């Protein structure tokens, strides 16, 4: 059971941290999803939005967090 409990606790902590981040995201000095480098095309009847820069930043942050967690679990 311990093999299942530890990953569930870690996943819960990550989920809680993401929820707290989203709760306070409106107070950040920048607007995620509307950063320079995000693609936003508006047509007459449609629009297309692809947050390239936001995806890169979120990927870097998540990679950093996962690496820290994995290093802590190895010890």
pLDDT digits (tens, 9 = 90+) for 11-70: 999 899 888 988 887 787 767 778 888 999 999 999 999 999 989 988 998 899 889 988
Rounded CA gap, 54 and 38, in Å? Answer: 7
Number of domains in the chain: 1
Instruction: State which residues form the domain around 53.
Output: 2-74
pTM over 0.95: no
Q: Which of 9, 14, 22 is nearest to 66 (CA)?
A: 14
- State residue 45's pLDDT score: 93
Q: pLDDT at residue 6 above 70?
A: yes
- State residue 75's pLDDT score: 66
Cβ neighbors of 14 (< 8 A, separation 6 or more) are 65
Rounded CA gap, 34 and 40, in Å? Answer: 9
């Amino acid at each position: 059971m311990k093999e299942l409990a530890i990953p569930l606790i870690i996943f819960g902590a990550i989920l809680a941290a993401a929820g707290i981040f989203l709760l306070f995201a409106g107070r950040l000095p920048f607007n995620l999803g509307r950063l320079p480098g995000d693609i936003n095309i508006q047509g007459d009847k449609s629009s297309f939005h692809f947050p390239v820069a936001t995806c890169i930043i979120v990927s870097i942050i998540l990679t950093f967090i996962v690496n820290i967690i994995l290093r802590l679990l190895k010890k």
